[in-house]
Amino acid sequence: MLKGGLRVIGEIDLKELNSLMNGSFNPYISESHIVKFEDKLAKFFKTKHAIAVSSGTAAIHCALAALDIGKGDEVLVPSASLIMSVLPVLYQNATPIFVDCKKNGIDFDYEDLERKISPRVKVIIPVYLWGCSYDMDKLMKFASKHKIDIVEDACQAHGTKWGGKYLGTYGRLGCFSLKDGKLLSTGEGGFLLTDDSDIADRCRLLRNHCINTLNPESSFSEVGWNYRITEFQGLIGNTKIESLDKIIARRQHQTKYLYERLVSNEHIDIYEYFSNEDPNYFSALIFIKDGKKGIEVAKELNRYKIINSTGTFGLIPIYERNSIIKYLSNLQIKFDFNKKSNCHTLFQNIVAISVMDDFTDEKLDEIADRIEIILNEGK
């Protein structure tokens, strides 16, 4: 059986930790660990502002609220995404419009994308599933043509670059998760990136019930939420981000090593990345071919505690989720479910294997061996 996990904390300054634990730390009179973490995030990603929040979902929610997305607005969302990417659209009472992916990849099918454009579309959310990039040149051109904002869901894409520039810094806002298992983790949490100072200020208010300590008379000017992170999480983040480049390089080595072990297998194709993309290799992506079912292989892998997208988490196109079907039905929104969509085929055949921080080459060999045994047995 395989086991693996992410070392969340690392080496923390014990003096700082004791200050937090014994209650002597006061963020109103001491230098905030959260603010220091945000400054380091902005410096790492080369943006003007980073705003720490309680989750990646909270980050997307704040982003949509800051852009005044609401009832009657439509938001273009990839079918190849997770429910956490869509929930913020529902929170804002907007309508998600699902767009198919290209064949054998997570990027948009641009013919379908053009079909989904309407005067009500205000935002497009690319979701960088498994740390993979879209064709950002093409997406930016599309958004500019139709005058719509981009809110990037980069929750799995810490460190992935397109053309030398980090994902999460292309759109009006970029949204990230800090949940355990991510390349940068504080156990729970998230953050937003933006170069728009007005949007950044509004997100800071929204995450804290719209309490304005700089101008108390203007507090509660609109509805906000408790999307704060703790100073303890800020302290963890300050420690982890110092090693982010090394963590990314480690993950790239691990996934490439697994690819090298599997590339010669006749039943497997390796996911094809863009030539202009420098992925973080958050997950190892393989296609099962020759009539074998990826979903069956994924379930069998899960029996051996090899965590993967379909066998462990039941990945399906987002529009097939019962909660989404029910929500759209309640709004009397009709949506034709396409069992022949590129997304449906992709999720039937791809196996996205979770690679953990502490996986050694020996553990990766174990995973590769198990995959080959399953394929050779015809399971």
pLDDT of residue 211 exceeding 90: no
Mean pLDDT of the chain: 90
| Nearby residues of 94 by Cβ (< 8 Å), 6 or more positions away | 64, 69, 70, 71, 72, 73, 74, 75, 122
Cα gap 298→3, rounded to integer Å: 17
Kind and range of the H or E run holding 152: strand 149-153
**In 154-227, where do the E strands start and end?**
161-162, 165-166, 173-177, 190-194
Residue 174: predicted pLDDT:
99
Phi, psi of 241 (to 5 degrees): -65, -25
In this predicted structure, which of 37-41, 115-119, 328-332 has the lowest mean pLDDT? 328-332
pLDDT of residue 5 exceeding 60: no
- At residue 94 the predicted structure's pLDDT band, cuts being 50, 70 and 90, is very high
Cα gap 153→61, rounded to integer Å: 11
Mean pLDDT of 70-89: 96
Dump pLDDT digits (tens) for 145-163: 999 999 999 999 999 999 9
pLDDT of residue 229 exceeding 80: yes
Q: Are 178 and 37 in contact (CB under 8 A)?
A: no
Residue 116: predicted pLDDT:
95
Dump pLDDT digits (tens) for 338-370: 667 999 999 999 999 999 989 999 999 999 999
Dump pLDDT digits (tens) for 111-152: 999 999 999 999 999 999 999 999 999 999 999 999 999 999
**Domains in the chain: ranges and CATH:** 14-242 (3.40.640.10), 245-376 (3.90.1150.10)
Q: Are 54 and 189 in contact (CB under 8 A)?
A: yes
Q: Which of 166, 327, 148, 147 is nearest to 248 (CA)?
A: 166
Which pTM value belongs to this model? 0.93
- Going 221 to 222 to 223 to 229, the CA torsion angle's sign is negative
Tokens of 234: 């800020």
Cα gap 308→195, rounded to integer Å: 35
pLDDT of residue 1 exceeding 60: no
Burial 189-208 (b: 16+ CB within 10 A, else e): bbbbbbebeebbebbbbbbb
Higher pLDDT, 246 or 329: 246
Phi, psi of 340 (to 5 degrees): -105, 15
Mean pLDDT of 88-94: 96
Residue 3: predicted pLDDT:
43
